[in-house]
Structure 1
Amino acid sequence: MSAKKEPLPAVGWRELVALPELGLTAVPAKIDTGARTSSLHATVLDRFERDGRNYVRFAVDFGRQHVRQVCEAVQVDKRGITSSNGETQMRLIVKTPMRIGAVEFRAEISLADRSDMQFPLLIGRTALRRRFVVDSGSSWLQSPGRMPRKDRVP
C-alpha cells in the first residue's frame, strides 16, 4: 500500500521571502524555473576564516528604502554561473535558511550584482524542487501581508 503524498504548496511568479539567519525578511523575489541557482543582490565586503571555515561578509542594499543590511554567511563554494544574458561570472555561493510561506529549508544562493534587476532575490529551480509547484499566472501566493492575485495576461 503506497502512502498518499500531500500536495505541494504553490508559489506565484513573485513572492516575499525571508532569509532569517541573514536578518532579511520580506525580500521581494522573482521565481525563475529557468535559473538553476538562486541569486541575491549583494556587494561582497570581506572574505575571512573563522573556526577553520570560510566566511563572506556582504551588504544587501534596498535602494528604495535607503537601507543597507550587512550579513555574514559560510562560503560553501565559488563557481561559474551563467546569467540570463549568456555571460558566465565567478560567484561566491553561501548556504543559508530560506523561508517561503510556511516552508523553511537551507538553500544555496549566489551573491551577484542585481542592481539592474527589478527583484533583489531570484529563486531558482534547485530551491523549488520537491518543495513547491509554480503558478506562473499568480503572485504573492505564499507572501504574508500581500493579497494573492491572478495576474492578467494583456
Structure 2
Amino acid sequence: MSKRSRDLLRVGWREVVALPDLTGARIPAKIDTGARTSSLHATEIERFDRDGHRMLRFQLDIGDGRSEPVTVEVPRADQRVVTSSNGEAQTRYIIKTSLRIGDTVFPAEFSLADRSDMKFPILVGRMALRSRFLVDSGRSYLQSSAEERKRILHT
C-alpha cells in the first residue's frame, strides 16, 4: 500500500452522511465506486428564474419514513446525460453542494433522480470519494457515529 493510500480515511460500503447546505438531517448513503457521479433522491424538480438568475427547486426526501420532504432551492444547476445502473441514459440536473462524511466536509456534485425504488436516498460516487477516502467493501459505517448507526439500523 502506498504512503498516499495509508493517509486516506476509510469508509464502509454504507455510511450516514450530511448535506449541510441543504438540510440538518443525517442521511443514509450507499458508497458506490462503480458510479462516477453521486446521486440524490429528489422529486418535483422545477427550474425557475429569480432576479435574473436561474434556480432549481426540488423536494429532498431523506428516506427515513418519518420526515416530510424538504423544499430546496439552489442556483445554477447544470444538466448532463447520466447513465443509470440499468444502462439507460437520462438527462439529469446536476447540483453542487457540501457533503459531510464523518468529520470531512467537501464540495460534491449530485445528479437529481427519483431514487424511491432504491434502499438509499443518496449514492456517493467515485468522483466525490477520489483523493479523500478508501472504500472497505466489507465494512459499514466506518465514518458514522455509534448513535447514527443505531438510529439507522433500528428504523
TM-score range normalised by the length of the shorter chain:
0.7 to 0.9
SS in structure 2 of the partner of residue 109 of structure 1: strand
Tell me how far apart the structure 2 counterparts of residues 20 and 97 of structure 1 sit (CA, whole Å). 6
Provide the alpha-carbon RMSD of the alignment.
1.9
Give the aligned residue type for 2:33: T
Query: What's the counterpart of residue 28 of structure 2?
Result: 28
In structure 1, distance between residues paired with 2:33 and 2:45: 29
Code of the aligned partner of 2:60 = V
Q: Does 1:9 align with 2:9?
A: yes
Query: Percent of aligned pairs with the same residue?
Result: 57
Q: CA deviation at 1:103?
A: 0.7
Q: The residue matched to 1:127 in structure 2 has which SS? A: helix
Map of 1:93 onto structure 2: 94
Residue-by-residue CA offset, 1:49-89 (whole Å, 9 max, x unaligned): 33543221110223611421111112331011000100011
Counterpart secondary structure, 2:76: strand
Match of 2:153 in 1: none
Q: In 1, distance between residues paired with 2:38 and 2:98?
A: 12
Q: How far apart in 1 are the matches of 2:85 and 2:96?
A: 22
Q: Secondary structure at the match of 2:128?
A: helix
TM-score by length of 2: 0.86
**AA partner of residue 117 (structure 2):** D
TM-score of the aligned structures, taking structure 1 as reference length: 0.86
**Equivalent residue number for residue 53 of structure 1:** 53
Counterpart contact for 1:107–1:127, Cα < 8 Å: yes
Residue identity opposite 1:15 in structure 2: E
CA–CA distance in structure 1, aligned partners of residues 45 and 34 of structure 2: 29
| Aligned-pair CA distance for 1:143 | 0.9
Aligned equivalents of 2:35, 2:53: Cα separation in 1: 28
Provide the C-alpha distance between the structure 1 equivalents of 2:98 and 2:14, rounded to a whole number of angstroms: 19
Separation (CA, whole Å) in 2 of partners of 1:74 and 1:37:
19
Q: Contact between 1:80 and 1:90, CA under 8 Å: does it hold in 2?
A: yes
**Structure richer in helix, relative to its length:** 2
- CA distance in 1 between counterparts of 2:54 and 2:44 reads 14
Supply the distance in 2 between the matched residues of 1:87 and 1:9 (Cα, whole angstroms): 33
Inter-partner Cα distance in structure 1 for 2:93 and 2:111: 6
| Residue in structure 2 matched with residue 82 of structure 1 by the alignment | 83
Shift of 1:147: 5.0
C-alpha contact (below 8 Å) 1:74/1:95 kept by paired residues? no
